[in-house]
Each structure stands twice: as C-alpha cells, then as structure tokens.
C-alpha cells in the first residue's frame, strides 16, 4: 500500500557561516526566520519559513546531530505523513532499517535512507 505522504515539511542544508545563511536565505530569497528558532551559538541552526508549514533548516558549520543509534542527521529532507504508525508498519514490511526518536513538542520521527543513501525524515503532521 505505501506510506501516505501529506507534504514536504523541511529540507536541511548545511552552510559554513551564519552570515552566508542570513545573506542568501534572508536577503536574497527574502525568507522570514522562524521566531521559534532564534540564532544561538549553542544551537547553531536557523529555520526559514517558506509558507504552508514548510521550512528550510540551515545548520551552520560542523555541527551534526545524531539519532539515538548514532545515525548522523546531516543534509536531509523531512516529509509529513498521515500516520507515523502506518509508516513504521510499511518500513518494517519492506525490511528497511530506520531509526526513531521522540522530540518534545514534535512527536515521533523516523529516519530512513533511500536506496542511494539519502536521509529521509518522516513524522506525523
């Protein structure tokens, strides 16, 4: 049957400096910085609003997050799905390995690699 994807939630692209992010995504593309993710030296991440709930996330420099199993969360895109439980059942049925983590306020996220190794994040939303 397959997973029912309801939309693109975000794309995650790494930049080297916060100035690059602000100049290109803020000034050139005219995107609004999400006020819920203000810049901080600790977090080193800016979220840019695209409208309709979609965003571009721009981590800066070498900072790389990881899932609980250690899978690095670098460049990726995130898809909203109709049911995270159904997504898990489908991935299990297909024999695909995935990582899951719960983010307070966002819920359960699944991370799976496509056949070429690109990281895809799935979450209910």
For 53, phi then psi, to 5°, come to: 85, -5
What are the distances in angstroms from CA 75 to CA 13, 56, 92, 104?
5, 11, 24, 22
The predicted pLDDT at position 87 comes to 96
Mean pLDDT (the chain) is 89
Top CATH class of 5-124 equals: alpha beta
Predicted model pTM: 0.79
The predicted pLDDT at position 63 comes to 67
The predicted pLDDT at position 107 comes to 87
In the predicted structure, residue 99 carries a pLDDT above the cut 90: yes
Q: Bridge partners of 76?
A: 12, 119
């Amino acid at each position: 049957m397959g997973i029912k994807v309801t939309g693109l939630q975000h794309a995650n692209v790494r930049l080297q400096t916060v100035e690059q992010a602000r100049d290109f995504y803020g000034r050139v593309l005219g995107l609004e910085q999400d006020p819920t993710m203000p810049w901080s030296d600790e977090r080193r991440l800016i979220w840019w609003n695209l409208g309709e709930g979609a965003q571009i996330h721009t981590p800066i420099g070498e900072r790389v997050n990881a899932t609980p199993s250690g899978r690095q969360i670098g460049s990726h895109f995130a898809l909203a799905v109709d049911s995270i439980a159904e997504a898990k059942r489908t991935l299990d049925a297909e024999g695909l390995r995935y990582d899951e983590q719960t983010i307070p306020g966002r819920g359960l996220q699944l991370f799976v690699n496509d056949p070429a190794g690109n990281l895809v994040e799935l979450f209910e939303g």
